[in-house]
Amino acid sequence: MRRLVILLLVLALPFFVVACGSSSSENTAPETVEGTLPQEEDTGGNAPAEGDAAAGKEVFASAGCAGCHTLEAAGSSGTTGPNLDESGTGYEEAFEQISNGGGGMPAYKDQLEEKEIADVAAFVAESAGGRR
């Protein structure tokens, strides 16, 4: 029995040494940084706040949007994509869809400038009766 107690003490000793650690400066807490992070302005999404619907009508025609979408204001009757006259698409939703694509629509963020996307989004939102 005495041997068992000694064996347990010898086996437990390394755990106590490791658990106690050292008292050197290696275990100090990291420095704290004072100050504040800059606040980002909440724009309500990633879409720019402005878009020119008149310019968007021209981009809608030149970018080939009319080939897929029906939109009376553009004189288009495409049947591949959604009928925008019935969609009620808002500006921000249109901006995101045009930029990133999805649901069979390709992304246009690499083909059009952000201002052109904003203009088309404004045109679609205004023409489709969506939220601006």
* Structure confidence at residue 17 (pLDDT): 54
> Regarding predicted confidence, which is higher, 12 or 86?
86
User: For the ranges 21-25, 28-32, 93-97, which has the lowest average pLDDT?
Assistant: 21-25
Q: Which CATH class is domain 53-127?
A: mainly alpha
> Regarding predicted confidence, which is higher, 31 or 93?
93
Average pLDDT over residues 34-39: 57
Q: Is the confidence at residue 41, as pLDDT, over 50?
A: no
Measured distance CA(121)–CA(32) in Å, rounded: 46
The domains of the chain are located at: 53-127
User: Could you read off the pLDDT of 79-104 as tens digits, one per residue?
Assistant: 999 999 999 999 999 999 999 999 99
With a threshold of 0.75, does the pTM exceed it? no
